[in-house]
C-alpha cells in the first residue's frame, strides 16, 4: 500500500479504544483482545527510512501527538505547483520508490519483459529507407525507450546501441530466360575465394574478370604457367600420393575459381583435360620431387609445341598467302592477324590494310598504329557502317577464330559473321587463323548455344554478346599449324590430334 494510506490507517488505530502505539512503532493489544470484525489486520511496520520527506513529518506528528509544522504543508503545495515537464526518469524514480517491494520472481519477470521491450524498440528503430534519415529516427526512438527504462533496481547499459544502415544489395540486370544459360564474367573478391586457391591463380582470375587477358590463347598460356607454380608449391600429405590427391584437392579449386571469374574458353578446357591425364599417368611409386619435375616439364613442352610453334607456323603460312598489291581487310584486333601482316611486310611485300574496328571495344586503334609504324598503309573504319564499301575495295579478308566447332562453324568476336557473310556474297576469300588447341568436338549452329554476355553492357533494357558463330559455308580456308584445310575437315583434325 502507498505510504499515505499507511499513515491514515495509523491514525485510525490511534482512535481505537483498544490499541496504543509504542516507541518501537508496534501495535500492542490489551488484556482483552478485540473481536475480529471490530479490528482490521495490522498494517506493516513503518520505517522512517522508507518514507518520503513529506511523509516523515506526518509520521512524527502521529508518534508525538503534535500537529505537523506549517512548512511541510507549504512544501506540499510547492511540489504540486511544479511544472509537469519534469524529466521522466525523476518521476519514474519517485513512483518506483513508493511501490511495494517485489519478490525475486517478479523482478526477474519484469526484467525479462523490459529486455524484450528494448529488443523490440531496437528492431523498430532500424531505418527503413535512407541511412541518413533513418539514423535520426533511430536516435529519437532509442532515446524514448531509454528514458522509460531508467529507475531504481534496473541496470541501464552505458553504451548506446549503434544502429547499422541496411546493406544495399547489388541489383543485377535481368537476363531473359532464353539466355539464362549464358555466362558472364564477374569480379570475385579475394576474401570470397577458396582457401586452397594459390595467390598466383587469384591474381590471374582478377585479370581475366577485367578482360586484361582477353583472347583464348593468352588466357591458356597464363593458366598453364599458373598451374606450374601451383605444382611447384605442392607438398603431398602423409599417407597420400600426388596422382590421387593433387587433382581433387588442389587442382580443382583453382579451376573452379578461374571459371567463376570468367567462363573457360575451349582451349583451356582441352589443356586442363590433357593436364589431368598426365597427372593420372604418374606412377604412385615415383618420388614427389621427380613427379613435380616431370609435370612442369610436360607443361613447358605443351606450351612450346601447341602455342609457340603453332603460332609461328600459322603466321608464316598466312603471310605467304598475302600477295603484292593485296588489299587486306581485317576486323578489330587479334595477335595472329597482326603478326601475319607484320611478317608479310618484313618479307618485302607491298599491300594495303583496311581495318574495321569493333564499335564497342575500339581495340583496333592500337592495331592500326602498329601497322602504320611498320610502313603499312592503313585505312581505319570505326564501325561496320561502311562495310560494303570497304569490302568492295578489298581483295582478301583475314580473320582469327577463338574456336572451331566440329561441324565447321567458327567461334569469333561478335561482328565477324557479318563480315564473312558479306565477303562471301561479294566473292572474296575469307581466311580464318586458328590453333588446333582451339578445336572442339562440340557442335554449334547459332550464336546462342555457346556465348558470353558482356558485363559492361548488360542492362534491363538489353545486353551484348561477346562472340558470334560463322557458318562453314562463309569460310574459304582455315589455317592451322597442321596446314591449310577447309572448315569441313575439323573432325578429321580432331581424330589426328587424338592419335598424337
321-499, which class in CATH?
A: alpha beta
Least confident of 7-16, 436-445, 458-467, 481-490: 7-16
Predicted confidence band of residue 394 (pLDDT cuts 50, 70, 90)? very high
What is the C-alpha R_g of the chain?
45
**Residues linked to residue 21 through DSSP beta bridges, in sequence order:** 27
Residue with cell 519478490: 103
Rounded (10°) CA dihedral 86, 90, 91, 96: 180
pLDDT tens for residues 26-66? Answer: 444 444 455 444 444 545 444 444 445 455 444 444 444 44
Question: Are residues 423 and 397 in contact, defined by beta-carbon separation less than 8 angstroms?
Answer: yes
pLDDT tens for residues 456-470? Answer: 887 777 888 999 999
Q: What pLDDT is attached to residue 380?
A: 97
**Rounded-to-integer distance, Cα 500 and Cα 489, Å:** 17
Q: Phi and psi for 32 in degrees, rounded to 5?
A: -95, 110
Q: What pLDDT is attached to residue 1?
A: 46
Cβ contacts of 114 within 8 Å, gap of 6 or more:
149, 154
Of 61-75, 120-134, 433-447, the range with the highest mean pLDDT is 433-447
Domain range summary for the chain, segments of one domain joined by +: 3-82, 181-309, 321-499
Is pLDDT of 336 > 90? yes
Closest to 224 in 3D by CA, of 304, 163, 313, 135: 304
Share of the chain above pLDDT 90, in %: 56
pLDDT tens for residues 248-273? Answer: 999 999 999 999 999 999 999 999 99
Of 53-62, 125-134, 479-488, the range with the highest mean pLDDT is 479-488
Closest to 422 in 3D by CA, of 384, 448, 450: 384
pLDDT tens for residues 213-226? Answer: 989 999 999 999 99
Dihedral sign from CA coordinates of 486, 488, 491, 496: negative
Using CB atoms within 10 Å of the CB of residue 451, give its burial: 0 to 12 exposed, 13 to 18 middle, 19+ buried. Answer: buried
What is the rounded average pLDDT of the residues 410-415?
96
pLDDT tens for residues 308-335? Answer: 999 999 999 999 999 999 999 999 999 9
Cβ contacts of 228 within 8 Å, gap of 6 or more:
295, 296, 299, 300
Is pLDDT of 151 > 70? no
C-alpha triplet 473, 479, 484: angle, nearest 5°: 85
Q: What pLDDT is attached to residue 166?
A: 53
**Rounded-to-integer distance, Cα 27 and Cα 439, Å:** 110
What is the rounded average pLDDT of the residues 373-395?
96
Amino acid at each position: 500500500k502507498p505510504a499515505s494510506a499507511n499513515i491514515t490507517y495509523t491514525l485510525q488505530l490511534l482512535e481505537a479504544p483498544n490499541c496504543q502505539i509504542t516507541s518501537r512503532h508496534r501495535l500492542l493489544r490489551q488484556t482483552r483482545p478485540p473481536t475480529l470484525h471490530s479490528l482490521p489486520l495490522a498494517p506493516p511496520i513503518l520505517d522512517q527510512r522508507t518514507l518520503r520527506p513529506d511523509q516523515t513529518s506526518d509520521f512524527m506528528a502521529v508518534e508525538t501527538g503534535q500537529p505537523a509544522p506549517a512548512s511541510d504543508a507549504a512544501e506540499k503545495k510547492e511540489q504540486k505547483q511544479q511544472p509537469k515537464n519534469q524529466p521522466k526518469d525523476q518521476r519514474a524514480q519517485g513512483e518506483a520508490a513508493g511501490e511495494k517491494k517485489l519478490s525475486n520472481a517478479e523482478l526477474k519477470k519484469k526484467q525479462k519483459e523490459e529486455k524484450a521491450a528494448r529488443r523490440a524498440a531496437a528492431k523498430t528503430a532500424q531505418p527503413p529507407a535512407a541511412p541518413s534519415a533513418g539514423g535520426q529516427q533511430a536516435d529519437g526512438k532509442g532515446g524514448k525507450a531509454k528514458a522509460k527504462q531508467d529507475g531504481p533496481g534496473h541496470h541501464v547499459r552505458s553504451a548506446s546501441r549503434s544502429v547499422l544502415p541496411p546493406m544495399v544489395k547489388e541489383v543485377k540486370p535481368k537476363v531473359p530466360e532464353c539466355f539464362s544459360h549464358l555466362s558472364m564474367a564477374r569480379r570475385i573478391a579475394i576474401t570470397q575465394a577458396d582457401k586452397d586457391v594459390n595467390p598466383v591463380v587469384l591474381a590471374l582470375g582478377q585479370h581475366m574478370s577485367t578482360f586484361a587477358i582477353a583472347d583464348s590463347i593468352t588466357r591458356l598460356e597464363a593458366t598453364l604457367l599458373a598451374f606450374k607454380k601451383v605444382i611447384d608449391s605442392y607438398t603431398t600429405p602423409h599417407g597420400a600420393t600426388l596422382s590421387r590427391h593433387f587433382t581433387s584437392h588442389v587442382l580443382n579449386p583453382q579451376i573452379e575459381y578461374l571459371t567463376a571469374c570468367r567462363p573457360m574458353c575451349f582451349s583451356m578446357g582441352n589443356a586442363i583435360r590433357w593436364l589431368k591425364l598426365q597427372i593420372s599417368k604418374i606412377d604412385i611409386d615415383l618420388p614427389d620431387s621427380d613427379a613435380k619435375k616431370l609435370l612442369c616439364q610436360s607443361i613447358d613442352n605443351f606450351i612450346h609445341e601447341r602455342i609457340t610453334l603453332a603460332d609461328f607456323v600459322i603466321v608464316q603460312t598466312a603471310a605467304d598467302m598475302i600477295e603484292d598489291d593485296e588489299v587486306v581487310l581485317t576486323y578489330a584486333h587479334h595477335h595472329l592477324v597482326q603478326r601475319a601482316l607484320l611478317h608479310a611486310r618484313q618479307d618485302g611485300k607491298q599491300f594495303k590494310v583496311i581495318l574495321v574496328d569493333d564499335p564497342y571495344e575500339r581495340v583496333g586503334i592500337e592495331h592500326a598504329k602498329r601497322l602504320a609504324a611498320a610502313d603499312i598503309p592503313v585505312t581505319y573504319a570505326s564501325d561496320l557502317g561502311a562495310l560494303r564499301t570497304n569490302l568492295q575495295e578489298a581483295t582478301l579478308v583475314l580473320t582469327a577464330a577463338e574456336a572451331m566447332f566440329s561441324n565447321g562453324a567458327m567461334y569469333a568476336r561478335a561482328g565477324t559473321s557479318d563480315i564473312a557473310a558479306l565477303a562471301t556474297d561479294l566473292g572474296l576469300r575469307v581466311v580464318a587463323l586458328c590453333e588446333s588447341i582451339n578445336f572442339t568436338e562440340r557442335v554449334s549452329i547459332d550464336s546462342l548455344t555457346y556465348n558470353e554476355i558482356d558485363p559492361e553492357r548488360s542492362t534491363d533494357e538489353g545486353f551484348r554478346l561477346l562472340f558470334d558463330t560463322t557458318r562453314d559455308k562463309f569460310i574459304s580456308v582455315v589455317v592451322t599449324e597442321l596446314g591449310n584445310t577447309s572448315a569441313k575437315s575439323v573432325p578429321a583434325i580432331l581424330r589426328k590430334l587424338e592419335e598424337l
